Structure 1
Amino acid sequence: MTLDEKLGQIVGWWVDFGGDVVAPMQGEMTTTGRYDEATAHGLGHLTRVYGTRPVDPVERASWLWGEQRRLRSETRLGIPAIVHEECLTGLAAWQAATFPTPLAWGASFDEELVEHMATLIGGSMRELGVHQGLAPVLDVIRDVRWGRVDECIAEDPYVVGTLGTAYVRGLQQAGVHATLKHFVGYSTSDAGRNHAPAHVGPRFVSDVLLPPFEMAVLDGGVRSVMNSYAEIDGVPVAATPEYLTELLRDRWGFDGVVVSDYFSVAFLEVMHRVAADRGEAAALALEAGIDVELPTGDAYTAPLAERVRAGLVDEALVDRAVLRVLRQKDELGLLDETFDAAPDQVDLDSPAHRETARRLAEESLVLLTNDGTLPLLPSGTAGTIAVVGPNADSAAAMMGCYSFANHVLAHHPDVPLGIDVPTLLEALRAELPDWSVTSETGCDVEGDDRSGIEAAVESARRADVALVVVGDRAGLFGRGTVGEGNDVESLELPGLQRDLVEAVVATGTPVVMVVLSGRPYAIDWAIGGPSAPSAVVQAFFPGEKGGPALASVLSGRVAPSGRLPVSLPRSAGAQPYSYLHPTLGGPSEVTSADSTPVLPFGHGLSYTTWERSDLGLENAAVEAGDAFVATVTVRNTGDRPGTDVVQLYGHDVTGSVTRPVAQLLGFARVALDPGEEARVSFTVPAARLAFTDRGHHRVVEPGAIDLWVGPSCDIRETTATLDLTGGVYGVTGADARSTRVSIDRVPTVR
């Protein structure tokens, strides 16, 4: 291969580049030239051919098949291009299904359903000739002021790793390579600001930020990783071989391809200022371990070629990247693909897609409070319901910032959604056909226009129950209240929404508040006190079937089973916060500031009641390098069927470094009828309790471990004590990271 042919294989080309801005600082990049000239020597990636603007998928597939044939026939080597797309909440393309956002996956605690969803997403992508998906996001939530919280799964690394790895398995089972984002440190930026520095220590990186990526690499076999925009302690990750090569490849054994986040190679020059020009930026990134520059060639083209020819960059580094890309193309079957016939019909939103979207949406809904007002149909009664609020009749409010609707179609207001996304108002009218349903907007998501509040109040006053639907509108870079670039300084509900809720509550009508959002808000006033609604439901952008899912839970046809994947914050001033804090990170008598959340990680109510008891250990003492088995009895003590998320927590009583007051060790969804009980067993590798010691070695130390099961991280409903024995155990990559769960149902005693 010539140098030009090699460089062609390690860059992408954005065919629709220069149109609507759908990526950060796109307008400042310098890519110029004609596409046919840029692909004369071959091409590594075609960037977002379906996901940049609304295109008919069948027509675009025909173009793509022809383009791949052209690369086959009109370049000397005849190598087709990898096609990549965004797929965080489904394939980001017109007419494709939109699933719940990752924060909703976390609320579901359902590993199997997330894997199934990803398999469906991958099937749609493969049908359209897409080979690589830019998902999942494995950033651990630390500060909910950050706009990209709705793209994340949870504040717990194990939940992030478990569900993220399930997504990887599902997507790759369908023949599409998953891409882990954003490796590493992106979510720990100063003050929750996007693209801001991360001032975190190596122990925090090792114990909190890296485990989800390690799980997806070692347990999920992921084939691609994307670097983070972040700088950690002054060093941009894109120029850090310690992460991208020494850790990822040498220690973990990753043998896939590292792709750059969009423009991040050029950012080494224009944002981080560690490179004088694009050529130096290319040299830094290539040496660090970034194999492919995306979305297009700003640095790995002429600037890198000039340095290689001048002897300033070893061409062996280019060869290393090219070989990895060619190996990936071979794995994907691209080197043998002939592209004879493009699909002449596709269904990207099939009944299977919609059913999975509905199930995941239902499982993700979190009932925060309830005085008995919910469910609305305890005995088949009917009445009048006032549905008010800016998100009551909004399809956009169901979807996150990386949905095609909010990411791309927002720039094309005259183009229809292409999929059916019922609003909550529409879904309630279908769910409650015998009810009289009235509707008023009240106020907008943002802004200070209160002219509609009085009409909403009057509507509520005349009703038997009022539903106030508030929250976010997802978008990017200032277009919306949450999403990429939409970071906030306050965690109050945007605009006048709190005023609207309090005004409706003041009518005396029972009020159910539904929060449709991409982040948790500081709604302590709604959880208790004189202005608190009768019930509060949290929905994290539940996708295209979020409206029907919410309606079914509100009516009582479906029981709520979601749990908070992120603590409900007290205030913006209490950020960053994590339930994984040490004792020193909690409330104390030496400070007047209290970071205790309004509701804890793992919290979520049901329409039935639960009893968790008899937590026991198969062996009360095990070696620090072994596994232990903990078993608990869970019983549905109410009069309705339901699903409990059984949560096993642990606390290392004494460690050589400070340990968190609570750590989730395992979880299981258990569906039980009234009076039914089950014995749930967790087989937990002691390596789940590992941490980085003072010598920066990953170890499990002997000593006492408090164990408990409860409805959240804060409540110890049934307890046990484990003794880890022997010497300090050094954890290696071969150690199991996942907790196995078995469930034995006990015959119901009537």
Structure 2
Amino acid sequence: MGHFEMPQPTEKVQALHARMTLEEKLAQLVGFWVDQGGEVVAPMADEMATSSKYDEATPHGIGHLTRVYGTRPVDAAERATWLAGEQNRLRTQTRLGIPALVHEECLTGLAAWKAATFPTPLAWGATFDEQLVEEMGRRIGESMRALGIHQGLAPVLDVVRDPRWGRVDECISEDPYVVGMLGTAYVRGLQSQGVHATLKHFVGYSASQSGRNHAPVHAGPREIADVLLPPFEMAVRDGGVRSVMNSYAEIDGVPVASDPAYFEELLRATWGFDGVVVSDYFSVAFLHLMHGIAGGKGEAAELALTAGIDIELPTGDAYLEPLAERIRAGVTDESIVDRAVLRVLAQKEELGLLDDDFTFTPEPVDLDSPEHRDVARRLAEESIVLLTNDGTLPLAQTTGKRVALIGPNADSSEALMGCYSFANHVLAHHPGVPVGFDIPSVADTLADELAGAEITVVHGSDVTGTDRFGIDEAVAAALDSDVAIVVVGDRAGLFGRGTVGEGNDAESLELPGVQRELVERVVATATPVVLVLLTGRPYAIDWAISGSTRPGAVVQAFFPGEEGGTAIAGVLSGRVNPSGRLPVSLPRSAGAQPYSYLHPALGGTTDITTATSDPVLPFGYGLSYSTFEHTALVVDDMVVFTEATFTARVTVRNTGERRGTDVVQLYAHDEHASVTRPVAQLVGYARVELDAGDSVEVSFQVPPTRLAFTDREMRKVVEPGRIQLWVGSSCDDRETQTSVELTGETYEITGADERVVHTEVTSNVSV
């Protein structure tokens, strides 16, 4: 294993540290939530709200200001003026004059009132478009920098393991490579603007038992190494991320927040991370209050600091007086505090906060500019997945046609946004406060798309509950129409305020409430039906995909953001040719979970069980209004050494009648290895846009790291043997296939080779 030596602090940082009292050191290791105001925007935030007054909390300075903009609806310009004054106060009225680092949530855009809301990360995954995700990150970073925010608490790099988990909409994919590629792109975009990204949640959080929030994790070390860790490694090694946040999880009985093996040994010594680790909110105190491995908050602080968690967020419940008492008593060594303080000061120096001329001067900023909306629109359009279509879509020549638009999400703007959007995260506590920017629903945009159509909007049912009050009206509207569009799905929220989102784990993967009954009753009218799913997780909808009364078309949208209504309407009309692909398998049932397409042979359907786990639709699946043909997959060299990169080429042709985009997916399977290997593994992908009839040769340069795995000795290796390769429309579709023989000795990836190198793709050779 490689071992990195950490850079030494600069003379300026060392001199500042040498002047600090214990109280001043500890103050730099905590945040303060200035405006929590009773808002429940973190687990147990109401029970753990600080009683300290802000003025009393900062006589020795402060490390972080927690969520200055994102806890309640405040005018950004007014808040920025307050922040400028506060930074000046810290500079001029504390002994050391160290400004605070300001952090904020930014997963679907800056979490501030009236700021642009982009598609949720599961929608990013559906695009397979890291360039556009990076552009989104840049736009978010611009807004944050203008408001004096230094650190964003995103992206989430948890790999989806169980769709019952409430936080699936915050995740990118069930494939670690896709998570790593898109997550690293977001990091690059955000940090290009001088704002530090924060990887969440390191590590294992999404693998919780039965998909329950904060439940124990039983993943083995090989699953952790080969599935859960690679996205974080990519963002550290390839993306240069500057901050990491711990997972709430405990793995095999050891809470991650107390485990130096992850933060000090793997993250820093092996991967070379030299940034700052922050705690997830209240997770340090949880070592005492929830996990029960510390006798008090002071002991919890010692465990967390020893593990490598430098900053306690959102406030200093453990790192202040409880820890100070132990240090004064000689129980805890102050050196662990010094180590963290030096890292924090180095981060502040990197961000310019220690500059002699540091100042924050607010400037006018448009948080929802035309540039923001353009990126939001393109990302939403690319994320929509067409699951089935018998020719009902697109809805062309609608003049004079009657359209019934039905469902609880048809005329809902909130249904377009994820859990960590400001609207669903914060404004749910403030009924009557407007969103503050334009977020048209499907109903708002459909009339413009379906020119000349007569559209009737019917609610049909609520998202949740058993009230069937509107189903009969919906049926009547469908009977009186030429086509019915039924828009159902989720409502994102926190801790019971929605059907998906943090704390909203599911026991069933059936559509919430009576929405399935609504859809089936409308389908039974024999009027052509288009089902639109606006959800934060994939649901078990086999009845809509292959049932006897299935709709004519099914469209999946994963919380597509402020331009999502426009994008959906564009797909329905045909203005937008859908190109999204499933970033997660479409589950068969809750009982088949957890499931991943990355399963070994005995992890799928076999003749030794009557309980199938096969998904209804596979990872990578998605239709288009065009059709694409993949042929002539070849490798340049049929035999290569285990340590060598090989090149695979495939011809892609648009066999449809209009221009469209294909997501070309290259999969591999290791036929024989020292440990079981997945039946399919994505090793490379490319978005390719082609005119009707055109074709292109796509070339994948696959490095050995894409085929590496953890062997029985827990070494990352590439073993000799035959690798099956194929390209198709999903992980299950072997439309064209070949193989490559790896030869030579087992190649152990060590030192500088340990990084997760991505597959280079080119597609500029027309044929």
The match for 2:676 is 658
Which residue, 249, 273, 277 being the options, matches 2:296? 277
Indicate the residue corresponding to 1:738 in structure 2. 758
**Amino acid corresponding to residue 650 of structure 1 in structure 2:** A
Q: Measure how far apart 1:253 and its partner are.
A: 0.7
How many Å apart are 1:200 and its aligned residue? 1.0
Give yes or no for the alignment of 1:150 onto 2:163.
no
The alignment's TM-score, normalised by the length of structure 2, stands at 0.96
Q: Tell me, yes or no, if structure 1 residue 22 matches structure 2 residue 41.
A: yes
Write out aligned runs for 1:685-700 (5 A): 685-700=703-718
Equivalent residue for 1:160? Answer: 179
* One-letter identity of the residue aligned with 2:641: E
Partner residue in 2 for 1:455: 473
Residue of structure 2 in register with 1:235 after alignment = 254
Is the Cα–Cα contact under 8 Å of residues 684 and 759 in structure 2 kept in the other structure? yes
Change (3 A) 1:336 1:644: same
d(CA) in 2 for partners of 1:364 and 1:744?
24
Give the stretch that moved more between structures: 394-403 or 423-432.
423-432
CA RMSD across the alignment: 1.0
- Contact between 1:393 and 1:425, CA under 8 Å: does it hold in 2? yes
**Structure 1 partner of 2:688:** 670
Q: Distance in 2 between matches of 1:312 and 1:729?
A: 47
User: For residue 670 of structure 1, what is the amino acid of its counterpart?
Assistant: V
Match of 1:293 in 2: 312
Give the corresponding residue for 1:315.
Answer: 334
Q: Which moved more, 1:18-27 or 1:664-673?
A: 18-27
Q: Flag structure 2 segments of 5+ consecutive residues without an equivalent.
A: 1-19
Residue 444 of structure 2 aligns with which residue? Answer: 426
**TM alignment of 1:26-45, pairs within 5 A:** 26-29=45-48, 31-45=50-64
1:734 Cα deviation after fit:
2.4
- The separation in 1 between residues aligned to 2:749 and 2:443, in whole angstroms, is 52
- Displacement of 1:345: 2.1
Deviation at 1:343, TM superposition (A): 2.5
Q: How far is 1:414 from its partner?
A: 1.5
Aligned letter for 2:639? A
Partner residue of 1:720? 738
Residues of 2 paired with 1:331 and 1:325: CA distance?
10
Structure 1 segment 488-527 matched on structure 2, within 5 A: 488-527=506-545
Q: Which moved more, 1:96-105 or 1:341-350?
A: 341-350
Q: Does the 8 Å contact 1:617/1:631 carry over to 2?
A: yes
TM-fit CA distance, 1:432: 1.7
SS for the counterpart of 2:234 is helix
Runs of 4+ in structure 1 deviating by more than 4 angstroms, as ranges, are 337-341, 379-382
Tell me if the contact between 1:252 and 1:733 (Cα under 8 Å) persists in the aligned partners.
no
Query: Is the 2:398–2:451 contact (alpha carbons within 8 Å) kept by the matching residues of 1?
Result: no
Deviation at 1:341, TM superposition (A): 6.0
The alpha-carbon deviation at position 549 of structure 1 amounts to 0.4
Q: Tell me whether 1:306 sits opposite 2:289 in the alignment.
A: no
Q: How far 1:280 moved relative to its partner?
A: 0.4
* Distance (Å, rounded) in 2 between the aligned partners of 1:435 and 1:733: 64
Give secondary structure in 1 for the equivalent of 2:473. helix
Post-superposition offset of 1:18: 4.3
- The normalised TM-score by structure 1 is 0.98
Q: Give the distance between the partners of 1:423 and 1:160, measured in 2 at CA.
A: 29
Q: Is the CA contact 2:586–2:615 (under 8 Å) kept in the aligned structure 1? A: yes
Q: CA distance change for structure 1 residues 644 and 733 in 2, over 3 Å: closer, same or farther?
A: farther
Q: CA deviation at 1:97?
A: 0.2
The offset of 1:17, in angstroms, is: 2.7
Tell me the secondary structure at the aligned position of residue 225 of structure 1.
Answer: strand
State whether residues 64 and 101 of structure 2, in contact with CA within 8 Å, keep that contact through their aligned partners in structure 1: yes
Contact 1:98 1:399 in 2 (8 A): yes
Q: Distance in 1 between matches of 2:499 and 2:155?
A: 22
CA distance in 1, matches of 2:136, 2:195: 13
Partner of 1:246: 265
Residue-by-residue CA offset, 1:621-655 (whole Å, 9 max, x unaligned): 11111111001000001111100000000000000
Distance in 2 between the 1:531 and 1:495 partners? 19
The one-letter amino acid of 1:468's match is V
Cα 1:264–1:497 shift into 2, 3 Å: same
Whichever residue aligns with residue 147 of structure 1, its letter is: G
Partner amino acid for 2:257? A
Q: Which of 24-33 and 143-152 deviates more?
A: 24-33
Residue 104 of structure 1, aligned match among 101, 123, 135: 123
Separation (CA, whole Å) in 2 of partners of 1:663 and 1:493 = 29
SS at match of 2:595: coil
Shift of 1:382: 4.9
Q: CA deviation at 1:291?
A: 0.2
Q: Distance in 1 between matches of 2:356 and 2:309?
A: 26
Residues 30, 528 of structure 1: alpha-carbon distance in 2 compared, 3 angstrom cutoff = closer
Q: Secondary structure at the match of 1:734?
A: helix
Counterpart selection for 1:126 from 145, 148, 161: 145
Deviates more, 1:524-533 or 1:658-667: 524-533
Query: 1:703-748: CA deviations, max 9, x gaps?
Result: 000000000000100011101111011113523520100012426x
Q: 1:353 to 1:270 in 2, by over 3 A?
A: same
Could you tell me which runs of 5 or more consecutive residues in structure 1 were left unpaired when the two chains were aligned: none
Structure 1 Cα separation of the partners of residues 704 and 669 of structure 2: 12
Task: Give the Cα–Cα distance (whole angstroms) in 1 for the partners of residues 437 and 374 of structure 2.
Answer: 14
3-state DSSP class of the match of 1:454? helix
Rounded to whole Å, the distance in 2 between the matches of 1:733 and 1:385 is 62
Which residue does 1:257 correspond to in 2? 276
Name the CA distance, whole Å, in 2 between partners of 1:438 and 1:75: 63
Work out whether 1:58 is the aligned partner of 2:77.
Answer: yes
Three-state SS of the structure 1 residue aligned to 2:752 is: coil
The answer for the alignment partner of 1:536 in structure 2 is 554
Q: CA deviation at 1:442?
A: 0.4
**Cα distance in 2, alignment partners of residues 437 and 381 from structure 1:** 11
Superposed displacement of residue 696, structure 1: 0.8
Q: How far is the alpha carbon of 1:590 from its aligned partner?
A: 1.1
- Supply the AA of the counterpart residue of 2:676: T
Say whether 1:549 aligns with 2:567: yes
Is the partner of 1:168 in helix, strand or coil?
helix
User: Are the aligned partners of 1:616 and 1:630 in contact in 2 as well (CA < 8 Å)?
Assistant: yes
Cα contact 1:88–1:402 (8 A) shared by 2: yes
Contact 1:143 1:187 in 2 (8 A): yes
Contact 2:145 2:193 in 1 (8 A): yes
Q: Secondary structure at the match of 1:737?
A: coil
Answer yes or no: is the 8 Å Cα contact 2:587–2:617 preserved in 1: yes
Q: Is the 8 A contact 1:516 1:541 kept in 2?
A: yes
- Structure-2 separation of matches of 1:428 and 1:30: 44
